[in-house]
Amino acid sequence: MSSYNIRVVALFSLVAVLFVGTGFIQSWNVALTIFNMGLISAIMALGVNMQWGYAGLFNVGIMGFVALGGLGTVLVSTPPNTEALAAGGLRVVGGLALGAATVIAAIMAYRRLKTYRGWITAAILLVGFFVFRAVLDPGVEAVEAVNPASAGNIGGLGLPVLLAWPVGGLLAAGAAWVIGKTALGLRSDYLAIATLGIAEIVIAIMKNEDWLARGVKNVIGLPRPVPYEIDLQASSGFRNFATGLDADPVTASTIAVKLAYAGLFGVVLLLLIWLTQAALASPWGRMMRAIRDNEVAAEAMGKDVTARHLQIFILGSAVVGLAGAMMTTLDGQLTPGTYQPLRYTFLIWVMVIVGGSGNNWGSVLGGFLIWWLWVQVEPLGALLMEGVTAGMADGFWLKGHLLASVAHMRLLTMGVILLLVLRFSPKGLLPER
Amino acid sequence: MEPLNALVSLANFVLIPATAYGAQLALGALGVTLIYGILRFSNFAHGDTMAFGTMAVILTTWGFQAIGISAGPLPTALLALPIGIAVTGLLLLGTDRVVYKFYRTKKAVPVTFVIASLGVMFVMNGLVRFIIGPDDQLFSDGARFLITAGDFKRMTGLDEGMAIKTTQVITVVVAVIVVAILFWFLNRTRTGKSMRAYSDNEDLALLSGINPERVVMYTWLIVAALATIAGTLYGLDKSFKPFTYFQLLLPIFASAIVGGLGSPVGAIAGGFLIAFAEVTITYPLKKVLGYLMPEALEPDGLIQLLSTDYKFAVSFVILIIVLLFRPTGLFAGKSV
């Protein structure tokens, strides 16, 4: 075995030990909860790695694509709200269509016209904006007025929730196309700021547009692709199975549900790894890395750098959107208020950098390792702080403060880990080959 | 008197708040632009540097209040500023020593610095939350208003009131003083000139015997001062919450980029442009237009172009428009 392979085996074994250890020391439920989110984190990291590792695109708007994936879940899997659709659905759709038409008209005008094109474009946008609001607003009001305490949104298509995953990816891909078309020509730092802004806008829209997915009122009780614990406990077959294993049926049912999710997510992750590895090894992957390493040379060889960047930006964002849809399915709810850039953008970046940019297995490793740390730093920090404060008198202000602040240790730890890896192992734990 | 009422209403709800906000953004953007010009990377930790500086000022303010030092009608935080700046300066010099210096000696590519600044961002964010907590802190004391809306109505006899908060006046006055000192420093002093030379052409500056480490050190100290002052003014005017400061990163970067990264004048212009656009577009203009139009034409709705929560969209759209049509910003910044 080459030293690289030994490294891969050793590091993945370490992660396995961490999870198994969590199972034995804390509980298997905790271990599986972390593991499921680890699977999703690994997929997000794969998406970011495609953009950053293959193509060198600095996208710090991951949070927006994750949220769009979640929106996809709601729009596909919840039952349609026929009453609301009848009240204002047509106006909403018409308003959105007019808004899109305005933007297209403005772009056409800017491209085609020769004289006064700036003024005419501005006029189209201004008039279009007011028409858009005039058509959309009453529709929105009508939709939101229907049963606002429990609904007040247009609902979804009522399709199986598994279908929502690719749709979430598609939604993110669509957004990525729009962003890529405008911002990909920009320099790397500008692209970073632009994507940062887009993510904030996506979250602002999801928080404010109650007609879409209830905004900060949250959508709860999303359909699940796996059975409910209660139903498992009620089925005699499952109870017999659990007693056969000498397990408590309640615990067994929670673990069975988590294992079912893990199976679904695992299939998606394996499929994606297979695809991304194949892509990376293909001529296309070599072209991408050539573009990343020297844009000018690649362009001189006849590669269309802008088009390839747009392509990989869309693909990577779609993978992130897919993971976002899976996450919302796992949570069973969409809560736009909980999307924070540190957690959903920068933490994923830590996973990619620590794992090793450009290496798919590295991203998967980073996803599991960093997610495990993110969750476990809190109990570990609490232990540490109890040790530090053990000698202090009860009621001493510093003791209370230190114990209360343990929750904030994780940000500090993540920063330190990122800086240490960047300094002493700049290619990450599993370097690109 | 109707146009006058409209003007007063506009001033009260749009012009005055936007001027104060613009001054705060400009000071923040100056810090970003200086780092970009001299250290040549976009510092994602700038929002959290501001939060850290403000936290240092708040803690000092509480200390002063506890031992009974106050500035009369002015907020005590102004007295605490020098100490806050000193603490932040030490932190930034320490960060440079531990983190950035290594990559500078290695002549790493700019994006490595940016990723390092992400790490610094996490650490500072954690540090601030660890020390002062993630909650809102109000630390403004002294007189609240220079002119209250009621006083203004009595003085002028207009229907519309105009309130001027002490913090708004302080913001503008402090910002003007800081910018004047900064420009004097950059244009008149030897160190300032060497900083500009280093920013314009690194190799030439090194050949003429400018010590790069000295330039970098002064840059961090100035950035510490700018970030602490910007953060404190913002906190006095609104309130201090670590997460809000992190979110300020977007309008601040937009200001710096719109003005042209690396250009101090551009940063100031960009700050005010973003602030005025944000406040105008997210403020319901019904009252203002109501005074100007005949009653028959008076608007029904609030004429709020976008809800306040979309303020990010405003800085973003301006940023994109400027970048698409003038890729180096309004005041021709540099690109690395």
Nearest to B33 by CA among B247, B248, B334, B322: B334
* B134 Cβ under 8 Å from any chain A Cβ: yes
Nearest to residue B235, comparing CAs of B155, B160, B138, B327? B138
Kindly state whether residue B333 falls inside one of the protein's structural domains. Answer: no
Element (H, E) at B146: strand B145-147
**Residues of A with Cβ-Cβ distance to B310 under 8 angstroms:** 201, 204-205, 208
- Contact criterion met (CB < 8 Å) for A200 and B250: yes
Q: How far, in Å, CA of A318 to CA of A68, rounded?
A: 10
Mutate: best of A190, A211, A384, partner B, most B CBs <10 A? A190
Cβ-based neighbour number of residue A14 at 10 Å: 13
Distance between A238 CA and the closest CA of chain B, angstroms: 46
Q: Are B118 and A418 a contacting pair at CB < 8 A?
A: yes
pLDDT digits (tens, 9 = 90+) for A235-293: 888 888 888 888 888 888 999 999 999 999 999 999 999 999 999 999 999 999 999 99
pLDDT value of residue B335: 54
Structure tokens at B58: 């708040």
B299–chain A Cβ distance below 8 A for any pair: no
- The answer to whether residue B241 is domain-embedded is yes
- Residues in A touching B115 (Cβ below 8 Å): 349, 353, 418, 422
DSSP string, A247-313: --HHHHHHHHHHHHHHHHHHHHHHHHHHHHHHHHHSHHHHHHHHHHH-HHHHHHTT--HHHHHHHHH
Of A197, A412, A419, which is closest to B99 when you measure between CB atoms? A419
C-alpha distances (whole Å) from A81 to each of A34, A85, A86, A148, B332 are 35, 6, 9, 12, 52
ipTM score for this prediction: 0.90
A196 CB neighbours in chain B (<8 A) are: 249-250, 253
Query: Across all residues in chain A, what is the average pLDDT?
Result: 90
* pLDDT of res. B179: 95
Q: What is the CATH number of the domain that holds B261?
A: 1.10.3470
The pLDDT assigned to A419 comes to: 96
Tally the domains of chain B. 1
- Residues A54-92: pLDDT tens digits? 988 999 999 999 999 999 999 999 988 888 888 888 888
Are B118 and A183 within 8 A, CB to CB?
no
Amino acid, single-letter form, for residue B70: S
Interface contact B119, partner A, CB < 8 A? yes
- Greatest alpha-carbon span in chain A: 82
CATH no., domain A3-80+155-424: 1.10.3470
* Closest B-chain CA to A417: B119
Residue B71 in contact with partner chain A when CB distance is under 8 A = no
Task: Check the CA dihedral B240-B246-B251-B256 and report its sign.
Answer: positive
CB B265 within 8 A of CB B202: no
Select from B133, B257, B305 the Cβ nearest to the Cβ of A193.
B257
Task: Give the residues across from A155 on adjacent strands.
Answer: A80
Give alpha helix (H) positions in chain B.
2-10, 16-38, 46-67, 77-95, 101-105, 110-132, 149-156, 166-188, 190-200, 202-207, 212-237, 242-247, 249-259, 264-282, 286-292, 311-325
CB contact under 8 A, A411 and B120: no
What long-range pairs does A313-316 form, CB within 8 A, spacing at least 24?
Answer: A313/A51, A313/A55, A313/A57, A313/A59, A313/A176, A313/A179, A313/A180, A313/A184, A314/A173, A314/A176, A314/A177, A314/A180, A315/A50, A315/A173, A316/A47, A316/A48, A316/A49, A316/A50, A316/A51, A316/A57, A316/A59, A316/A176
Give the model's pLDDT for residue A144.
86
Cβ contact, residue pair B123, A409, below 8 Å: no
Shortest CA distance to B35 belongs to which of B268, B272, B322, B261?
A: B261
B111 part of contact set with chain A, CB < 8 Å: yes
β-pair partners for B145: B165
Asked if B247 is an interface residue toward chain A (Cβ–Cβ < 8 A), one would say: yes
What's the gap in Å between the CA of A232 and the closest CA on chain B?
41
Tens-digit pLDDT string for chain A (433 aa): 688 999 999 999 999 999 999 999 999 999 999 999 999 999 999 999 999 999 889 999 999 999 999 999 999 999 888 888 888 888 888 999 999 999 999 989 988 888 888 889 889 998 998 899 888 888 888 888 888 877 788 888 889 999 999 999 999 999 999 989 888 877 777 888 889 888 988 998 999 888 888 888 888 889 999 989 888 888 888 888 888 888 888 888 999 999 999 999 999 999 999 999 999 999 999 999 999 999 899 999 999 999 999 999 999 999 999 999 999 999 999 999 899 999 999 999 999 999 999 999 999 999 999 999 999 998 888 888 888 888 777 777 777 788 778 878 889 999 999 999 999 999 999 998 8
Q: Is residue B214 part of a domain?
A: yes
Domain that holds residue B68: 2-325
Scanning the structure block, which residue is given the tokens 């990525």?
A: A176
- Interface contact B42-A193, CB threshold 8 A: yes
CA distance B73 to chain A (A): 32
Helix axes of B46-67 and B249-259: crossing angle, nearest 10 degrees: 120
Strands B164-165 and B145-147: antiparallel
At position A373, the amino acid (one-letter code) is L
State the pLDDT at residue A360.
94
CB atoms within 10 A of CB B164: 18
* pLDDT, tens digit only, all 336 positions of chain B: 577 888 888 888 889 999 999 999 999 999 999 999 999 899 999 999 999 999 999 999 999 999 988 888 888 999 999 999 999 999 999 999 999 999 999 999 888 999 999 999 999 999 999 899 888 988 888 778 888 888 888 888 787 778 888 899 999 999 999 999 999 999 999 999 999 999 888 889 889 889 999 999 999 999 999 999 999 999 999 889 998 999 899 899 999 989 888 889 999 999 999 999 998 888 877 777 777 766 655 555 666 777 777 887 888 888 888 877 887 788 866 654
**Residue A110 exposed, middle or buried by CB count within 10 Å (0-12, 13-18, 19+):** middle
pLDDT at B334: 60
- Cα–Cα dist A364/A352, whole Å: 8
B122 vs A201, A405, A415: nearest CB:
A415
Is residue B39 a contact partner of residue B216, using CB atoms and an 8 Å limit?
yes
CB A428 within 8 A of CB A421: yes
- The structure tokens listed for A201 are 């806008």
CB B261 within 8 A of CB B70: no
